[in-house]
């Protein structure tokens, strides 16, 4: 497995959930992590945990739907460290009113902008550096809904996450010759704060049977430690008790 010591990773959506767990796991393996998200306070909390365990973390608050701000953060990372080895596109959201009869035009736009456009902006920000390095890994955190359309997640989220999977494969098609690899990570239900945005949040008993944040953190670390010759194009991971199968 690859040694991550001294490498630099940028994690969006790092203030909670999958992003926070991924950042902590990567830092624990020796990677310097840059944490981005819309709110500074939770990012500082994650950074403090990382530093308390001997890791290195910096905070860059960011709304990934702001293309100019994304470019600025990418430039600052390069200026500060001179390299970007890993991008984890974990920023994302959904809305309570998500069905066809409930979703609004603004609601649709907000989901697509955060889940698809924001990931694209971040990819664009790191690709020039990764091309120059002839090396780099991008992990696009999609969803089970990115490979299996779901009424539960709604049309906007399903469409955005399918778009992320397609975007991810286009990266591999065009950028593999530059030594750049991309993985669309597609988890089933994960017990994270985004569950509170559902029209009917799941019961605690159901949450305990879902994938947990640390499971996805371990998965991101596994992908990051694969040798540069290995590209995991798409990884679908689900809870053993998969409600898509049992309901």
As assigned by CATH, the class of the 8-246 domain is alpha beta
Is residue 129 scored above 90 in pLDDT? yes
Is residue 227 scored above 70 in pLDDT? yes
Question: Is 245 considered catalytic here?
Answer: no
Q: What integer is the mean pLDDT of 140-157?
A: 95
Q: Return the pLDDT at 196.
A: 83
| pLDDT tier at 98, thresholds 50, 70, 90 | very high
DSSP 192-247: SGGGGGSSSPPPHHHHHHSEEHHHHHHHHHHHHTS-TT----EEEE--SS-HHHH-
Q: Return the pLDDT at 141.
A: 98
User: Which pair of structure tokens corresponds to residue 238?
Assistant: 């689900």
Q: What integer is the mean pLDDT of 54-80?
A: 98
Is residue 247 scored above 80 in pLDDT? no
Q: What share of the chain in percent tops pLDDT 90?
A: 92
pTM over 0.85: yes
DSSP 122-143: HHHHHHHHHHHHT-EEEEEE--
Q: Return the pLDDT at 197.
A: 79
Query: Which tops the pLDDT comparison, 1 or 47?
Result: 47
Q: What integer is the mean pLDDT of 80-89?
A: 98
- Where helices occur in 113-191 by DSSP H, the ranges are 118-133, 155-175
Q: Return the pLDDT at 183.
A: 98
Is residue 214 scored above 90 in pLDDT? yes
How does pLDDT run across 13-58, given as a tens digit for each residue?
Answer: 999 999 999 999 999 999 999 999 999 999 999 999 999 999 999 9
Q: What integer is the mean pLDDT of 168-190?
A: 98
The catalytically annotated residue of 10, 121, 144, 157 is 157
- Contacting residues for 158 by C-beta, under 8 A, at least 6 apart: 145, 146, 149, 150
- CA terminus-to-terminus distance, the chain: 39
- Tell me the domain boundaries of the chain: 8-246
Q: Edge to edge, what strands does the sheet with 8-12 contain? A: 56-59, 32-36, 8-12, 86-89, 136-141, 180-187, 234-237
Q: Return the pLDDT at 200.
A: 86
**Token pair 């990677």: residue:** 31
């Amino acid at each position: 497995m690859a040694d991550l010591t001294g490498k630099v990773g940028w994690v969006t959506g790092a203030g909670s959930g999958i992003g926070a767990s991924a950042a902590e796991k990567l830092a624990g393996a020796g990677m310097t992590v840059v944490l981005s998200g819309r709110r500074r306070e939770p990012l500082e909390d994650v950074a403090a945990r990382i530093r308390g365990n001997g890791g290195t973390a910096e905070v860059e608050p960011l709304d990934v739907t702001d293309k100019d701000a994304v470019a600025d953060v990418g430039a600052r990372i390069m200026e500060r460290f001179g390299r970007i080895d890993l991008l984890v596109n974990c920023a994302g959201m959904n809305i309570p009113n998500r069905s066809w009869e409930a979703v609004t035009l603004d609601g649709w736009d907000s989901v697509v902008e955060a889940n698809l456009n924001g990931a694209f902006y971040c990819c664009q920000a790191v690709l020039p550096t990764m091309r120059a390095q002839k090396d780099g890994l991008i992990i696009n955190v999609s969803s089970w809904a990115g490979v299996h359309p779901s009424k539960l997640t709604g049309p906007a989220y399903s469409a955005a996450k399918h778009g992320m999977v397609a975007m991810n494969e286009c990266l591999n098609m065009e950028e593999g010759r530059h030594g750049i690899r991309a993985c669309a990570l597609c988890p089933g239900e994960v017990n994270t704060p985004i569950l509170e945005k559902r029209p009917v949040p799941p019961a605690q008993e159901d949450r305990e049977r879902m994938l947990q944040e640390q499971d996805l953190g371990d998965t991101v670390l596994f992908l990051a430690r694969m040798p540069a010759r290995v590209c995991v194009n798409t990884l679908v991971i689900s809870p053993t008790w998969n409600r898509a199968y049992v309901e």
